[in-house]
Amino acid sequence: MKSKKAKKLLSLTLATTMVLSMTGCGNSGSSNDSSGSSTASEVPTIDQIKLGEDYQDLKADIKILTDRTDIVDTTYKGYAESFMKEYPNIKVTYEAITDYAESVTLRLTNGDWGDICFIPDTVEKSEFSNYFIPFGDYSTLNGIYNFVTSKTYDNKVYGIPNGGTAGGIAYNKKVWKKAGIKDMPKTPDEFIEDLKLIDEKTDAIPLYTNFAAGWTMGAWNDYVGVASNADPDYKNNKLLHQKDPFTKNDENSGPYAVFYTLYEAVKQKLVEEDPASSDWESSKAKINNGEIATMVLGSWCVNQFKDAGDHPDDIGYMPFPITVKGTQAAASGGQYAFAINNKASTDNQIAAMVYVKWLLEESPIYDDEGSIPALKGKELPDSLSEFKDTELLEDNAPAQGEESLYDDIRNTAEVLSGDYPVGEVLEAALYGNKSLDDLMAEWNKKWTSAQESNGAEITG
Amino acid sequence: MGGSVNNAGQKTFFEKLQTRKAQRYIIIVTFMFVPLLLLLVFTYIPFIKMVQFSFYDMKYIGAKTFVGIRNYIDVFKRPDMFGSLFVSVYYMGGAVLQLALALFFATMMVFKVKGESIFKAAMFFPYLICGIAVGFIFKFFYARGYVLDTILQLFGISAENCPLWLQDQKINNFSLAATSVWRYTGQNMVLFLGAMMSVDTDLYEAASLDGANKWHQFRYIIMPSIKSIIVLNLVLSISGSLSAFEPPYVITNGQMGTGTYFVIMNRIAHENQRVGLACAMAVVLLVIIIICTVAQQLFFKYVFNDGSEDESKAAVQAKKKAAKAAKKGGA
């Protein structure tokens, strides 16, 4: 009996210590929080820092987490070294992480991960202030940097992207030149004509759909919005309330034109012979050596195509061929955004801020990655030189209360979501069993009923 | 336990616990508790939840709205959903072919063959590869200009005449069903072989003395002895072909008319986040599988023998009648 009592006592104490230790955790967490925010007030905003003048005598060791395991010891190390020449007292080290998003999400919660990281997509906007310090006010920074909108919460900017991507079409310059094409296409019909020329005059596959991989077809959905309508409000605001958005219009723009381009290319046999057995990995090498002329994917693919073979200079990138009332536009968006740990010491936070500013404004990062500069007013990188006359627009945020409406409608309608609906377009053209107008009429019907069931007002 | 014997005539609670009967119940309950708990937590509660979800319009997160049976109406009305069940017919055809092949090979192995274990291992091997890997193997096997086309060219068929195995809607479902035949034939064969091993080999000898050839031996000795395992394999194959998923998902992504019910369900649930509709699809499929299984059982019971017994249904009924009559007579 005695031993039983003793056991009970023991388990009780164990339980209490566990509970206590848990509350202890909570306490220490919250105290950390408050200390973090109190130091944050001493850190300057990024626009107040003058590079090369301020904080020359600041001593700090800062660590940066990155997902680029491939270039961390070459390109990124080079950035750190040239920065340390200007700021000899600040020591910069990089840590590359495979499986970045998942492991960083876990590491963020304990606060002791380093000083600068890319914000993983898993972190919600409302949680930014728990992990990061603000770079400054949105109203100020939006005038200096591109793509800060998506990482802003409550008028504070918590992340600045290391550049942006643009939506267009990747192509092999040599093949297009060989086909005798001088001016890049500006409308879907011109594009189809050019593909025909390539088909006649070269051995290359004019347009490779990568149908079998699936997600590559989903890429077509990205052109509905800025590229199809040259309007940053279209995707998140107007499309949700538009009646029959997939209807054909006279100048052949809008969502219809995007799918028209695919449908006609397939129908006129300007794509690979057997889309069902296309292969993504080998397609990268094929576009590099000129067996494939064109692929419709986001600009992130350009560097992959360049690395896939011996002809990196042949890879070009052009805007999607839709012209709306005389202007051609391309959607652009930020890549991973830099953010600074709010649990780091004040000195480290300031040093990190200086380094981020240096990366954004003085390093060759945009040319190296072929991305759109995050700093406004900088030249586009060479790989995007054909976007000079194109308006680069970022989708505007949806109206308040409609944040999830776009996803809701497209999921209910099962249109513009994922790769299957785009596959439907290809199949209709391939088997010739449905005209594009019929298919788009079906989509209009689905869209309307989804608008109704999600309570979106149809304004016209 | 000094104070336990208060009343000499009555047993205390603890003494009751120590009786043989009580011990037996305790053991039964404690041993059953864990598996039953697991079954309840991971099968029945999720199932009940799924049935509940099927009446809602909902996503994985966020609010849900009750819509009654609208999801079920959708399942039956949408051609891409209910129609996808017809794709399963190809897999059912494949299942029958696969059972016939497995029976054939198993019978071959039962009569002594040279290199038997090598054949057995080679036939069983595909089953050990995971379904996703099988998908990738066949993706390249069927791809234009790859393995199958090359083999056909060796036999003098020109490259242009090779069909597009995955694209041509007349044959792509046959191509996909063939992959599952390839994968499961060996497994079925091993199951049949196991059942055939239990047949007394003296019977073959006696039969051949009576002039029975191999076909007769198969028809009148092997078949009746392994009836129940054949029925079991058939039931499993048919319900398996109704829920075929891996070949179309991996090889064609369920496009070009190869989307089976499962592939469509997966897409509705995960790509489009329409959890309620997908749950309704799952419930409908469950009902269909139950109907199919019961129908099969009834079919075997009445058309052939009942499968689990050595005598035919008619014989069993006659016996029962006779027994009844005897009982009446006795009373």
Residue extents of the structural domains in chain B: 84-259
Q: Give the pLDDT confidence score for residue B297 in this predicted structure.
A: 81
Instruction: Please report the DSSP string for A382-426 in residue order.
Output: GGGGGGTTSEEE-PPPPPTT-TTHHHHHHHHHTSSSSSHHHHHHH
- With vertex at residue B214, the alpha carbon angle to CA B212 and CA B217, rounded to the nearest 5 degrees, is 65
B167 vs A423: CB contact, 8 Å cut-off? no
Q: Give the pLDDT confidence score for residue B125 in this predicted structure.
A: 93
Chain A residues with CB inside 8 Å of B271's CB? 417-418, 420
Chain A contacts in chain B segment 270-299 (CB below 8 A): 271-274
- The domain made up of A168-333+398-453 has a fold known as D-Maltodextrin-Binding Protein; domain 2 (3.40.190)
Q: Give the pLDDT confidence score for residue A34 in this predicted structure.
A: 37
Q: Give the pLDDT confidence score for residue B314 in this predicted structure.
A: 60
- The domain made up of B84-259 has a fold known as MetI-like fold (1.10.3720)
Q: Would you say residue B63 has pLDDT above 70?
A: yes
A276/chain B closest Cα distance in angstroms: 6
- With vertex at residue A11, the alpha carbon angle to CA A10 and CA A17, rounded to the nearest 5 degrees, is 90
CB pairs under 8 A between A and B: 61
pTM of the shown model: 0.75
Q: Which amino acid is at B316?
A: V
The most confident of the ranges A185-189, A375-379, B75-79, B250-254 is A185-189
Token pair for B163: 């069909």
A278/chain B closest Cα distance in angstroms: 8
CA distances to A110, B276, B283 from B49, in Å: 35, 11, 11
pLDDT class of B239 with cuts at 50, 70, 90: confident
Chain A residues with CB inside 8 Å of B272's CB? 411-412, 414, 417-418
Calpha distance A70→B10 (Å, rounded): 81
Pairing type for strands A205-207 and A292-295 reads parallel
Calpha distance B224→B230 (Å, rounded): 10
A277 vs B142: CB contact, 8 Å cut-off? yes
pLDDT class of B253 with cuts at 50, 70, 90: confident
Report, as ranges of residue numbers, the positions in chain A whose pLDDT lies below 50: 1, 22-41
Q: Give the pLDDT confidence score for residue A39 in this predicted structure.
A: 40
Greater pLDDT, A42 or B309: A42
Q: Judging by beta carbons within 10 Å of its beta carbon (0-12, 13-18, 19+), is residue B64 exposed, middle or buried?
A: middle
Pairing type for strands B65-66 and B56-57 reads antiparallel
How large is the C-alpha radius of gyration of chain A? 26
Q: Give the pLDDT confidence score for residue A350 in this predicted structure.
A: 92
Token pair for B63: 């609010």
Closest-CA residue of A relative to B271 is A418
Token pair for A42: 């001493």
B256 vs A404: CB contact, 8 Å cut-off? no
Greater pLDDT, A274 or B63: A274
Touching check for B201 and chain A: CB below 8 Å?
no
Strand partners, A188: none
Chain B residues with CB inside 8 Å of A420's CB? 253-255, 267, 271
ipTM value for the complex: 0.74
A427 vs B267: CB contact, 8 Å cut-off? no
> What are the extents of the domains in chain A?
43-163+335-363, 168-333+398-453
| Percentage of chain B exceeding pLDDT 70 | 91
First to last CA, chain B: 58
Does the A43-163+335-363 domain belong in CATH 3.40.190.10?
yes
